[in-house]
Homo-oligomer: A and B are copies of this chain.
């Protein structure tokens, strides 16, 4: 067989802020203190699931999100009470705040008045020019950015026939049309999302839109569901887009604690060489495992994910790949002959440890790495 030519996808040195792309560079948009697009790093975001009108609960959740690396936070504003809570939330947090508005233009105006850093509007839910106009004029006057958050679950009614035949065309056309309306009213800071719960539809919508327009992109797979399947579906779709150099800000939509969304966002970016985040390597366990690797790994992950530094920890059940992985990691724990070996920066630091002692020493080492240079 004639060998095909091998061309690497990834640059030789990682991390980088974004992977090589054949698409045009995106325009920059500043969302409060975080600028996305251009050559900026991909920003990580999530959305609270507290009652937005409960200021204390919402602020507490936003602080937890910030602790694990969230850079932009969104809150739903489904009613007047939620809109009224926005000034107090904004006052109490340092992350850029995005208000998510669906049906009621008055709530969008109230959110802008409260000083939010970005609005998210859904072209399917505030769809007419008449309803959009007062919001758009206020966005233009203030210079506040807006995300056009197109979603296959809420396609404008006149595009539903297009959608049945060609979902990508309908999603992209709906986004273009909304962008043009906003631009006619003088809005220029526009971010676009084109989400579907179907990965190929989402990926093709972003790719098609990106080939036609240079606005920055908020990427994600919508309604990916809970836990490991939600994480996997999001990672497949987002991973394909990021590998093509697309995506300026990123939200993983998985059902549950939004802290999990940030954990998955960081994992996706980090494993593609797009961020320097902590990494946990742990064997899947087999008949060789000399201890309960999943339990120990989960315990260590909790400590590790708090770090803002790219520390790698390997938790390995046996000596097959254990020493190899542990030597490459910053910290390693390997089961061997019923005892445990601890590795620090590639060197064996202690052996013949009992499990509890080994785990405790490893966690102490993780803690000490947070403050180290």
Contact = CB atoms under 8 A, between A and B. Distances in A.
B225 A301 contact: yes
B239 A47 contact: no
Given A5-B211, A236-B272, A255-B293, A229 B267 contact: yes
A365 to B, nearest CB: 18
A264 to B, nearest CB: 5
Interface string A298-336: 100100000000000011101011101100100000000
Interface in A266-290: 267-268, 271-273, 280-289
Interface in A1-54: 1-6, 8-10, 14, 22-24, 47-53
Interface in A90-128: 100, 102, 122, 124-125
Contacts of A240: 9, 239-240, 243
Contacts of A254: 228, 284
Interface stretch (A131-139, A146-154, A178-186, A353-361): A146-154
Given A10-B203, A232-B232, A236-B271, A223 B314 contact: yes
Contacts of A271: 198-199, 232-233, 236-237
A255 B283 contact: yes
A227 B325 contact: no
A324 B102 CA distance: 14
B263 A228 contact: yes
Contacts of A125: 320
Interface of A is mostly: mixed
A184 to B, nearest CB: 19
A87 interface: no
A144 interface: no
B286 A49 contact: yes
A256 interface: yes
Contact of A321 (B14, B222, B235, B258): B222
Given A199-B272, A229-B264, A82 B235 contact: no
Nearest to A322: B153
Contacts of A284: 47, 49, 223-224, 253-256, 258, 261
A84 interface: no
B229 A301 contact: yes
A262 to B, nearest CB: 11
Residue from A3, A210, A231, A238 whose CB has the most chain B CB atoms within 10 Å = A231
Interface string A192-211: 00000111100110011011
A156 B216 CA distance: 46
A260 interface: yes
A286 B53 CA distance: 12
A-B pairs, 6 with minimum CB distance: A153-B321, A153-B324, A236-B239, A235-B235, A76-B287, A253-B284
7 contacts: A4-B211, A6-B208, A49-B285, A78-B318, A230-B282, A232-B235, A236-B272
Interface of A: 1-6, 8-10, 14, 22-24, 47-53, 75-78, 82, 100, 102, 122, 124-125, 151-155, 197-200, 203-204, 207-208, 210-214, 222-240, 243, 253-256, 258, 260-261, 263-264, 267-268, 271-273, 280-289, 293-294, 297-298, 301, 314-316, 318, 320-322, 324-325, 328
Given A223-B283, A232-B232, 11 more contacts: A3-B211, A8-B207, A75-B286, A75-B287, A152-B328, A223-B316, A223-B321, A226-B297, A228-B254, A236-B238, A240-B240
